[in-house]
Amino acid sequence: MSTTPADGPVLEVSGLSKSFGGNHAVREVSFALGASELLALIGPNGAGKTTCFNMLNGQLRPDRGRVVFCGRDITGMRPREAWRLGLGRTFQITATFPSMTVIENVQIALISHERKSYELFSAARRQGRAEAEALLDRVGMAGAADRHCAELAYGDLKRLELAVALANRPRLLLMDEPTAGMAPAARVELMALAARIVAEEGVSILFTEHDMDVVFRHAHRILVLNRGEIIAEGSAEAIRADARVREVYLGGGTQEPGAEEARPHA
Ligand SMILES: Nc1ncnc2c1ncn2[C@@H]1O[C@H](COP(=O)(O)OP(=O)(O)OP(=O)(O)O)[C@@H](O)[C@H]1O
């Protein structure tokens, strides 16, 4: 795990802005994320969540603004370099090697973290086994170590993906709609696991999510984006009660976000 200056925020974002032609996808977004914090970034379709994530991990260069990670300015740094510093990301579509076993996927990630060559994989296979097993145990997948990824249920693939991301000893993990495509019970389970990892391993997580039950149940704090701007920030209670948030989600209705009708996505 990379080091953070004592007591400093893990992530500090200031004035982040991005336009596509005349479309202001993200405008003057500023926020900070502390150590061991589980922060949700929510907002309706097209609010700018993905654009924001893409600027945080270097996939997109901001027009303006700064991204400081563990005290270091990483604005415009390439994703691979940010990843090396401990800023990991998981995507909506799982990215594992289907022809390999569960444990081989984690071993590959460990080898990559240690900057060993893939050609050394067969030699490293034995060496990294114990560490990979420990990571699989962490995500409740120890019993599936030697199964092929192609055989796994979707929820198990998401757990494996988390183990792969943790192999890089991230300080911060960006999770892009981690529970998309999962059944409601599996969603809650996956985010409960993420919350445990945050609490027990000091990893911070910033996630986007359309399922308000998941957000309200697990996020320590919530940021609400609308049309590229942060319109509210606070606890689940504060966000539920926020008039602007209700207006955005419900067009001025009185129902709070989190009710079935409030979900911007089906
Ligand atoms: N590469 C791009 N080129 C042009 N416009 C883009 C591009 N990426 C995003 N946009 C636009 O920027 C705005 C923000 O999009 P973004 O994907 O960041 O929103 P989002 O909150 O992630 O939405 P969703 O919840 O649907 O994934 C939208 O109006 C979108 O059409």
Give percent of the chain with pLDDT exceeding 70. Answer: 84
Q: Give the model's pLDDT for residue 90.
A: 84
Using the mean position of ligand 1's atoms as its centre, give its distance from the Cα of residue 48 in Å.
6
pLDDT score at 181: 87
pLDDT tens column, 114-150: 665 555 555 556 657 888 999 999 999 999 999 998 8
25 C-alpha to ligand 1 centroid (Å) = 6
3-state secondary structure of 117: coil
Decide: 50 in ligand 1 pocket, CB within 6 A: yes
Bridge partners for 205 per DSSP: 38, 173
Enter the ipTM. 0.97
Band of the pLDDT at 261, cuts 50, 70, 90?
Answer: very low
With a CB cutoff of 8 Å and minimum separation 6, the contacts of 2 are 70, 85, 86, 169, 171
Decide which of 168, 188, 205 is a domain's last residue: 168
How far apart (Å, rounded) are the C-alpha atoms in residues 236 and 40?
10
Print the domain residue range for 107. 96-168
pLDDT in tens, 165-216: 898 899 999 999 989 888 888 898 899 999 999 999 889 999 999 899 899 9
Q: Is 20 in the pocket of ligand 1 (CB under 6 A)?
A: yes
Ligand 1 atom nearest to CA at 225: 21
Is the same domain home to 136 and 242?
A: no
Residues 30 and 50 in one domain: yes
pLDDT (0 to 100) of residue 250: 66
Of 119, 141, 168, the last residue of a domain is 168
What are the pLDDT digits (tens) for 60-107? 999 999 999 999 999 999 998 999 899 999 876 666 777 888 998 898
What beta strand segments (E) does 144-199 contain?
172-176
For the stretch 214-253, pLDDT in tens is: 999 999 999 999 999 999 999 999 999 999 999 988 665 4
Please check whether residues 68 and 108 belong to one and the same domain: no
Predicted TM-score (pTM) of this structure: 0.87
CA distance 235 to 166: 27
Best of 20, 26, 89, 212 for a ligand 1 pocket test (most atoms within 8 Å of beta carbon): 20
Under DSSP, the state recorded for 221 is: E
Please work out whether the CB of residue 154 comes within 6 Å of at least one atom of ligand 1: no
Same domain, 17 and 64: yes
- Per-residue pLDDT band at 257 (split at 50, 70, 90): low
Residue to probe by mutation, ligand 1, list 51, 176, 212, 265, most atoms within 8 Å of CB: 51
Please check whether residues 157 and 265 belong to one and the same domain: no
Number of domains in the chain: 2
Main-chain dihedrals φ then ψ at residue 38, nearest 5 degrees:
-110, 100
Check whether residue 213 and residue 137 sit in a common domain.
no
Q: Which residues pair with 101 in a beta bridge?
A: 148
Whether residues 191 and 163 share a domain: the answer is no
Residues 183 and 131 placed together within one structural domain of the fold: no
Which atom, in ligand 1's list, is nearest to the CA of 264? 25
DSSP classification of residue 256: P
Closest ligand 1 atom to Cα of 54: 18
Ligand 1 centroid to Cα of residue 228, in Å, is 9
pLDDT of residue 253: 45
Q: How far is the CA of 45 from the centre of ligand 1 (A)?
A: 8
Identify the residue whose C-alpha is closest to ligand 1 atom 18: 48
Cβ of 92 closer than 6 Å to ligand 1, yes or no, is no
Q: Note whether residue 91 is domain-resident.
A: no
- CATH code: domain of residue 195: 3.40.50.300
Our answer on whether the CB atom of 49 is closer than 6 Å to any ligand 1 atom is yes
Q: Please identify, among 126, 147, 168, the residue that sits at the C-terminal boundary of a domain.
A: 168
Output the pLDDT for position 262: 41
